[in-house]
Amino acid sequence: MIAAIQTTVSGYSGKPCTLYSSYNDKTLVLMVAVLKEYTPERREGCVVITNDRNIDRDSLFMGDDMNKAITAYFELLAGVAADGKSPRIKFNDEKAGRARPSDIEKDGIDSSGQRYRLNESISNAQIATLVTACYVGNLSAINDASDQLDSLNNLILLGMGGIVTI
C-alpha cells in the first residue's frame, strides 16, 4: 500500500509550509515529493498530519513527540529499502530537498535513549520531514504488530487442527 501524506507545519523558522510525501510499505521507502506554501485544506486521498490545532487532520503532532520524530528520521536515513540497496528516504527534487533536516545536534543520552537538540533556525519544512518520519515510524510499528498477530492466529489455528494457507 502506498500512503499519501500531507504534513502542514507552522511555528518554527521561516514560512509555514505543507509537505507532500508518499510511503510505500512494500519497498519501505518514504518519498518526500513536494514542498508548498502553507495549505490548510486537505488534498484528496492524503492523510493530514499537522501541529496546527485549527486544521482538519488525522493526526496532531505535539512537541512532546519531537525526540521520537528525530529518532524515526535517523532510522529512515540509516535504513535500507526492501531491495537491499536503496535508501529508505528520498527527496524528489532540489526544492523538496530543502526539507532535509540538518539543524539537529546530539544532546546526550538519558534513560529513554538518545536526546537531541534542535537549532533555533530549524525551518518549518525540516520539521515537516521529521513529523512525516514519525508518522511513517508509527505505520511501520502497526504493520509489524499486525504481521505478528497474523502469525499468532495461524499458530492458534494450527494448534486447533486447522489448515493454514500461505
What are 32-44's pLDDT values in tens digits?
999 999 999 999 9
β-pairing, 2-9 vs 46-50, is parallel
Question: Distance (Å, rounded) from C-alpha 5 to C-alpha 42?
Answer: 10
Q: How confident is the model at residue 147 (pLDDT cuts 50, 70, 90)?
A: very low
Question: Distance (Å, rounded) from C-alpha 78 to C-alpha 138?
Answer: 17
Q: What is the pLDDT of residue 160?
A: 59
Nearest to 133 by CA among 77, 58, 56, 60: 77
Bridge partners, 7 (sequence order)? 19, 49
Please give the CATH architecture assigned to the domain spanning 2-159: 2-Layer Sandwich (3.30)
Question: Distance (Å, rounded) from C-alpha 123 to C-alpha 103?
Answer: 9
C-alpha torsion 131→24→48→132, nearest 10 = 10
Q: Mention every residue, 6+ apart, whose C-beta is less than 8 A from residue 27.
A: 81, 82, 83, 86
Residue 26 has pLDDT above 70, yes or no: yes
- pLDDT tens digits for 63-86? 888 999 999 999 999 999 999 999
